[in-house]
Structure 1
Amino acid sequence: MRYRIYCLLFLLLARPLDLFAAESPADPLNSVMWHEMHQRLLDGAPVVFDERVRVSAPAVAEDSLNLPLWIDATALGEVERLLVFAELNPIPKVLDMQPLKAAPRIGLRIKVQQATPVRAAALTADGVWHLGGVLVDAAGGGCTAPSMGSGSSDWADRLGEVTARLWSRENHSRLRASIVHPMDTGLVAGIPAFYLEQLEIRASGGDLISRLALFEPIAENPVLTLDLPKVKQLTMAGRDNNGNPVEAQISESSQTGSNRL
């Protein structure tokens, strides 16, 4: 009897740790990488495929360096994290957003290396990830092409420059901001990874509205669109992976233009 107990304990301890994680549900997009993404990016946590998480993108990426995405998980209600990833990119993770006081909704542009599922995963308070996604066809090469702006003579002087617009909608404010940055992936020979890494958006009084972690596959000179609670003025601050700061004050009165502190 004791021998059987020892054998059972040995078998349990010898099992790979990921077998104790939640089983990956069947993937409606039939991706060969889905199980790997579930374990690596979502830590094997409980997952449901949910039509309330909407990912809007062209069926074909005409420009693999600039694929527009619109992610909307507002139908879920409160969301703790919003994770965006392109499964067949050499660097899958694109964005990790903590909406906090912002709506769990964002527009952005990304690079794609080949045809790939593009997904958004929204984490709710019960610890469940709700997934939506689409298949995007692409000629490819977006992640292994050098940035265009780094060939310009003034790109270093304009690094981190923010051009933004903030305007009121029916029950919220919308922010659209463009940030000058090459967003190099590090996958081009002789060009190290150089990308925006973190952004925080705060109300004029300093209250944190939203926090974003950004990764290499976001397109060069990122353009981000967010829906925020009603604000007249806000601050955007962050840094890239080399420690260069991004700092801007944005208000409704200055609808466009460069904003740097």
Structure 2
Amino acid sequence: MMFSVTKQSINKMTPLGVFLSGFLLVSNFFASPVLAAPAELGAVKGDLTGGDPLGSMQWPDMKGQFFDADAKTVFDSRIKVTVPLFAEDAMNVPVSFDASALGKVKKIVVLVDRNPIRKVLEFIPEKAKPALNFRFKLEQASPIRVAALTENGVWHVGYAFIEASGGGCTVPGATRADGSWPQTLNKVAGKMFDANQLRDDARLRVQVSHPMDTGLVAGVPAFYIEEMILQDKNKQVLAKLYPFEPVSENPLFSFDFDKKPVGPISLVGRDNNGNRIDAKVTQ
């Protein structure tokens, strides 16, 4: 709905009328983005986006790249994806997801449509909840996808959109810039947060010191953690995580469990240069 207010009509208005007219103009200005909500764009663009609720032209290509040709994918709002409206620091964009509402989840893949490296990580929950908190690098404003594979072979896709000024994938991290990364490489810090009056489950937070280079900075090859495995005291696998280059420098991950695992928890893994990760998290 549009409003037209001329100079002559304003002269004829009472002060209250002028105020209301201004209010309508301002309201119309702020309301206009709602009329073009991302959920409507997929319908407008039709088959060109494969029915994507965010209207992304990249989605059909991503389906072909990251899923089997006969894989069934459905957009599913039961997957909660939480991101900032605007990425203030494009090298450290926080994201959390929770696919617990789907029941048993075999595998989760996180993808970013407009990143030069689209796959962010793969997560196999095993004994953990199908939920994760972490940070990643964002090159430009983009949809982010959280695809969860259930036992019936269906990929359920949650989604969100992040605005950004960009550049997060193509600049060196702080430890790369100051040269300090060799002194801290693959050191691990962690803590287990027990159940309390606010929650009846447990959370494990671990951070690994690593530059997580994307390979997109001149003279700096790709150098990133490629495998992390959590084990309990009895060497039972709790979760498997496969990060890729877009995960932020010195990555911090939060894992959730229905009940506290038997500790101490071990974290083992490696980066793409063969450097080992081997640490225990005291509780």
**TM-score in terms of structure 2 length:** 0.79
Match of 2:187 among 150, 155, 161: 161
Corresponding residue number in structure 2 for 1:47: 73
Judge conservation of contact 1:143–1:217 (CA < 8 Å) in 2. Answer: yes
Deviation, structure 1 residue 173: 2.0
> How big is each residue's C-alpha offset from its partner over 1:61-115, in whole Å with a ceiling of 9 and x where there is no partner?
0110010000110111100001111111000000100101110000000000001
Deviation, structure 1 residue 179: 0.9
Corresponding residue number in structure 2 for 1:5: none
- Within the alignment, does 1:197 sit opposite 2:226 as a pair? yes
Corresponding residue number in structure 2 for 1:116: 142
| C-alpha separation in 2, matches of 1:250 and 1:218 | 22
Amino acid at match of 2:144: V
| C-alpha separation in 1, matches of 2:121 and 2:133 | 11
Amino acid at match of 1:141: G
Match of 1:188 among 202, 207, 217: 217
- Within the alignment, does 1:136 sit opposite 2:162 as a pair? yes
| C-alpha separation in 2, matches of 1:71 and 1:177 | 17
Match of 1:206 among 229, 232, 235: 235
Deviation, structure 1 residue 168: 1.2
**2:105 counterpart SS class:** coil
| C-alpha separation in 1, matches of 2:60 and 2:215 | 26
Query: Quick check: which one's helix share is greater?
Result: 2
Deviation, structure 1 residue 157: 1.7
| C-alpha separation in 2, matches of 1:41 and 1:193 | 21
Deviation, structure 1 residue 171: 3.8
Match of 2:113 among 77, 80, 87: 87
Amino acid at match of 2:271: D
Identity %: 42
Judge conservation of contact 1:33–1:87 (CA < 8 Å) in 2. Answer: yes
- Residues 205-244 of structure 1 correspond to what in structure 2 (within 5 A)? 205-228=234-257, 229-231=259-261, 232-244=263-275
Corresponding residue number in structure 1 for 2:204: 175
Match of 1:36 among 61, 64, 69: 61
Deviation, structure 1 residue 150: 1.8
Match of 2:90 among 54, 64, 85: 64
Judge conservation of contact 2:208–2:251 (CA < 8 Å) in 1. Answer: yes
| C-alpha separation in 2, matches of 1:123 and 1:67 | 24
Judge conservation of contact 1:25–1:48 (CA < 8 Å) in 2. Answer: no
Structure 1: runs of 5+ lacking an equivalent:
1-23, 253-261
Deviation, structure 1 residue 163: 1.2
Q: Root-mean-square deviation (CA), in Å? A: 1.4
**1:39 counterpart SS class:** helix
Judge conservation of contact 2:50–2:59 (CA < 8 Å) in 1. Answer: no
Corresponding residue number in structure 1 for 2:282: 251
| C-alpha separation in 1, matches of 2:89 and 2:179 | 24
Greater Rg over alpha carbons, structure: 2
Corresponding residue number in structure 2 for 1:10: none
| C-alpha separation in 1, matches of 2:91 and 2:242 | 20
Deviation, structure 1 residue 155: 2.0
Corresponding residue number in structure 1 for 2:176: 150
